[in-house]
Structure 1
Amino acid sequence: MDHLVLTVIAEDQPGLVERLADCIARHGGNWLDSRMSRMAGQFAGILQVAVPTSAQAELFDALRELESQGIRVLLAPSGSAPGRSWRMVRLQLVGNDRLGIVRDITRLLASHGVNLESLETEIAPAPMTNESLFHADARLAVPTGLSLEQLQQHLETLADDLMVELKLQAAE
């Protein structure tokens, strides 16, 4: 079995995931892992499937045919796990919304060799003032050679510049 990563985007509609799942199953594929969401009227997802090598070309063709139904699918072979040692850390951030928050935080993380495993963000009104607050919840793979205290210190310096509050803790 080959492992593939699929990314999917389409205008949100009932039955979309079922059509995708049916296409994968008809070609002997096994749905392994996925993250999917509806946002601004669009459906977007990423998933990992296992498919017999002999059925891979037919699955590719069938997934391309879904485009006639408005479902775009990109395929890539599953990557190998990095050879580094990591520890999982959760980063939570809240602050007034402004341009560049994600860019600045991810730039700092990348400069320290931290891998972003997942990221969820949203803009929500502040309870009392109704101002737009930016919320981020990230799962990070931190190299074991980087102390959490050092990472926390660098993040706090940036947080002061961005005027955001952040919390860094070991992931469960």
Structure 2
Amino acid sequence: MQAYLISVQGPNRSGMVAEVTGLLYRQGVNLLDSSMSTLRGEFVMMLVVQLPEELAAESFENLLDGLRSEGLSLNLRELSPSEAGQRSAESMPNYSLSVLGQDQTGMLYRFSELIASYGANLTDVHTQLLDGSHSPPLYAMILELHLPAHKQAQQAELLKVAISKLAAELDLDADLHPLESLEI
């Protein structure tokens, strides 16, 4: 079976997830993984799907034109068998970092660079400039990361100390904590 990564984006409106997944469902397309968010009024969705054997790749691409005619932008990439296979351990988060403080240029860069320097891989990133009466505005980040098992014992505490130092330097609140093992 062929597997694809689909990214969809466009102006957000009610029913978009149902519209995208309904089109896939009606064609017998199996949804393996998905992530969806709205960013400042824009709908963004990524899906990994598996086509039924009777649906040709060209026919599938033509079906997606219906979404394009609704004003959505789509990108489609066929995945190799290894890319379409099971998730690797490195893609499953085992730590979460939350950061909150006054908005500053480069916050995500500084923390992501630090995390990478400890051999950890970011698996999920959520950032948001918080609305409100704060001046300057507050910025929140939630970063999920995977620290390899062979590095956890030695690196987790060192990473926590380094994060605390960086947070103090930038006058931010930051908390790194382990996640329970859970696949959703």
Q: When the two structures are superposed, what TM-score results if normalisation uses the length of structure 1?
A: 0.84
Matched, 1:142 2:147: yes
Q: 2:170 matched to 1:165?
A: no
Specify the code of the residue in structure 2 equivalent to 1:69. E
* Structure 1 partner of 2:2: 2
1:90-109 residue CA offsets vs partner (Å, 9 max, x unmatched): 11111111100001111111
Distance 2:156 2:15 in 1: 44
C-alpha change, 1:125 and 1:9, in structure 2 (3 Å) is: closer
Runs (4+) of structure 1 moved beyond 3 Å? 80-87
The number of residue pairs the alignment matches comes to 171
Using structure 2 for the length normalisation, give the TM-score: 0.79
Q: CA RMSD in A?
A: 2.5
1:145 aligns to what SS in structure 2? helix
User: Alignment partner for residue 106 of structure 2, among 100, 105, 115?
Assistant: 100
Q: Per-residue deviation at 1:126?
A: 6.9
Gaps of 5+ in 2: none
Q: 3-state SS of the aligned residue for 1:91?
A: strand
Cα separation, 1, equivalents of 2:14 and 2:132: 33
Distance in 2, matches of 1:13 and 1:101, equals 30
Q: Which has the higher strand share?
A: 1
For residue 168 of structure 1, report the CA deviation from its aligned partner.
0.7
- Give how far 1:160 is off: 2.3
Q: CA deviation at 1:56?
A: 4.6
Q: Distance in 2 between matches of 1:84 and 1:42?
A: 29
The match for 1:61 is: 62
